[in-house]
Amino acid sequence: MPNVIGVRFKEAGKIYYFDPGNIQDLKVDDYVIVQTARGYEAGQVAIAPHPVPDQEVVGQLKQVVRCASAIDLLAKQRYSLREQQAVEACRAKVAEYNLPMKVVGAEYSFDGNSLVFFFTADKRVDFRDLVRDLARTFRTRIELRQIGVRDEAKLIGGIGPCGRALCCSTYLADFKPVSIKMAKQQDLPLSPMEISGLCGRLLCCLGYEDDYYREAKRQFPKMGDTVDTPDGPGRVCGVNVIKQTLQVFLESEATVEIPWRVPGDEEEEVAAPEDRPAPAPRPAPRPPRRPAPPVQSREPEEAEEPMEPATPAPAPTEQPAEGQPRSNRRSRRRRSRRRPSSGNPQNTTGA
């Protein structure tokens, strides 16, 4: 396996492999002079010397010429300060020739032997006359390179919708393909104003969490599936991966949100208890309280039932003596009824 080092020529730029040769004491952030297709360039070591498989090496490795000296770094800094002036002069020439192109930036080699202008255009541009005029002006080798809108944003920089510096201008070395399917997978609004970056293309950060959403949604029911809820069965009409909840449309035409436990979470917690935080100590149990005396509820006294008027007991009837005939008793009753009262005597005989 060949021994290589990774060299980067721009901040957040691509990393190219070079053969360190006899220079073995290179470390990360060291500056070296290497030979490229444009000539000699000064780059910064991003990956320390290490062996790589032959499949990762594309083409023939070029060797590191030497370590960059202080004079090389001063020359690189001096020419870097002239790049903005070169851009303004080139824009004036473009306006003079009336060419449909937009000059974005310029880049000098570390020794000033070559100057590259970056521009954007909607179609092919014939700039041969412009190149000859620029060569006479700057007295160096001139190259015009057309780039896309993403490379333009990477070269210029700016602030993204999140309020931070653009990812492409800070740490992204390569542009990975981003599709509208990623936005649908994450349930994002498909408005171009909300999912597009400064370059007018889809946000690069859509691809950061795409793998997680694709894997997590496999654990959730699909849209339209029937699930059971405390309020009855319903159809799934929404999935929230972050909150791990489902939106269910019930038969009563109401929509409820229910939690959804992803299968496998309990097994992971049991399999790796050391990852979980230690449970907080439980407080000492309190002594049991004395039971309160039972409260005697005063029940309402039963209302006294009204007493019915006592009926007079029937007068005792004289029982006939034994041996006395019943007819005699009847005659005696008749005589007692006919007998007048003692307070109003009547004379039964004539005077």
Of 131 and 56, the structure prediction assigns the larger pLDDT to 131
Strand 226-229's sheet: what is its strand order? Answer: 226-229, 232-240, 245-250, 255-259
Q: Are residues 83 and 36 in the same domain?
A: no
Give the per-residue pLDDT at 294.
54
Q: Are residues 83 and 58 in the same domain?
A: no
Asked if residue 345 belongs to a domain, the reply is: no
- Which residues span the domain enclosing 161? 153-216
Helix (H, G, I), strand (E, B) or coil at 283: coil
pTM value is 0.64
Both tokens assigned to 242: 């972050």
Work out the mean pLDDT of the chain and round it to a whole number.
79
Of the spans 18-22, 55-59, 134-138, 184-188, which averages the highest pLDDT? 134-138
Give the per-residue pLDDT at 351.
33
Asked if residue 104 belongs to a domain, the reply is: yes
Phi/psi region, residue 80 (left: phi>0; alpha: psi -120 to 50; beta: rest), is: alpha
Q: Are residues 160 and 196 in the same domain?
A: yes
190/184 Cα distance (integer angstroms): 8
- The stretch 112-121 carries a mean pLDDT of 93
Q: Are residues 129 and 159 in the same domain?
A: no
Q: What is the CA radius of gyration of the chain?
A: 54
Asked if residue 96 belongs to a domain, the reply is: yes
* Number of domains observed in the structure of the chain: 4
Residue after which a domain boundary falls, among 27, 42, 68? 68
Asked if residue 261 belongs to a domain, the reply is: yes
The single-letter DSSP state of residue 159 is B
Give the per-residue pLDDT at 277.
53
Asked if residue 180 belongs to a domain, the reply is: yes
- Paired sense of beta strands 255-259 and 64-67, if any: unpaired
Phi/psi region, residue 232 (left: phi>0; alpha: psi -120 to 50; beta: rest), is: left
Residue after which a domain boundary falls, among 265, 289, 324? 265
Q: What is the pLDDT of residues 221-239, one digit of tens each?
A: 888 888 888 888 889 888 8
CA 249 to chain centre: 22
Asked if residue 11 belongs to a domain, the reply is: yes
Give the per-residue pLDDT at 297.
46
Both tokens assigned to 86: 């070169």
- The stretch 293-306 carries a mean pLDDT of 48
| Crossing angle (nearest 10°) for helices 83-97 and 128-138 | 140
Q: Are residues 62 and 86 in the same domain?
A: no
CA torsion angle 242 243 244 249 (round to 10): -120
CATH of the domain at 225: 2.30.30
Q: Are residues 174 and 212 in the same domain?
A: yes
Q: Are residues 44 and 9 in the same domain?
A: yes
Is 244 within 8 Å of 257 (Cβ atoms)?
Answer: no
Asked if residue 258 belongs to a domain, the reply is: yes
Asked if residue 338 belongs to a domain, the reply is: no
Q: What is the pLDDT of residues 335-351, one digit of tens each?
A: 655 555 444 444 444 43
Residue after which a domain boundary falls, among 200, 234, 265? 265
